[in-house]
Copies of this chain bind each other. A is one copy, B any other.
Amino acid sequence: MTVTLESAREAFRDQLLDAGLLVRTQVDGLYGRSGVFEDVVDGIDRVVVAAGADQGARRLRFPPVLPRTVFERTDYLASFPNLTGSVHTFVGNDKDHARLLSLHETGADWTAELVPSEVVLIPAACHQVYPTLTGTLPEGGEILDVYSYCFRHEPAADPARMQAFRMHEYVRVGTPDDALAHREMWIARGLDVLGTLGLPATPEVANDPFFGRAGRLLAHNQRDAALKIELVVHLYGEDEPGTAVVSANCHQDHFGTPFEIRTADGETAHSACVGFGMERIALALFRHHGLDVDAWPADVRSAMGL
């Protein structure tokens, strides 16, 4: 990363904080959002929902935590262990509690008294869906609409790299052709959504930050197969790397196999999803149209219902 890009990101974050659109916490990448910021997120969502209106998607909403048993059936720990958020809790008795408090009071690591709970934070909204589909899909498969807060442990000053952020997804589960067609369609629709918002975007083959030595091979394979496409918006000029604000991803049987999902004709189901990164799209809007929402282009405001 260039010094210029790094300082441009920090300057933008400081503008957002100074304008009160984001509220600082003591943790990098963790922010409060103002009412105006939330209105913008809701406005983006209206445009997303309009783009998906003909999908007949089954709307499901899940909390930001996922059963640990579900998490363990994905390969997230192999690919992104460093982004994981495992939830731990206290199950001891009075004596254990006294020890816990004594550790806390002396500034020691009180978490030594905790044990893993039954849940982890979700890294992506669609992970909640697959365990609910175990078995045989109806004829034609399923389209689902999910939207929730996700967590990725990557503290950063870059406002576009939040640790907790929202993702609205349309998920297709069906035949290999269904999954590929969903991804292709949503690359086009994603570009339309961003166009409606006045954000120039380009599709790029994704380059996920797989962990470690083994991860370099996984990243290489992902780029080679070109299964995941990101829609990228430039926040700091065309010469700097852009920010992925939407991703359209064909998972092949990556979830169908571990969650034992079959199509109506008995084959292992394939899946694909499009994910709209709500905070990142909001940041792109503030960057391209300015911090004063009232001064945004009339057609953008109108499409967002603002």
Q: Could you list which residues of chain A lie within 8 angstroms of chain B, going by C-beta atoms? A: 23-27, 30-35, 37-38, 58-67, 69-70, 72, 77-78, 81-94, 97, 100-101, 104, 109-111, 114, 116-119, 121, 128, 131-132, 145, 149, 151, 153, 155, 162-165, 211-214
Contacts and interface: CB of A to CB of B under 8 A. Distances in A.
A239 B37 CA distance: 46
A185 to B, nearest CB: 22
> Within the oligomer, what is the number of copies of this chain?
2
A77 B58 CA distance: 40
Contact of A33 (B33, B34, B60, B92): B60
A94 B212 contact: yes
A290 to B, nearest CB: 21
B77 A100 contact: yes
Nearest to A62: B32
Contacts of A35: 58-61, 145
A82 to B, nearest CB: 5
Closest 7 CB pairs of A and B: A63-B164, A35-B59, A81-B90, A89-B153, A26-B67, A111-B116, A94-B212
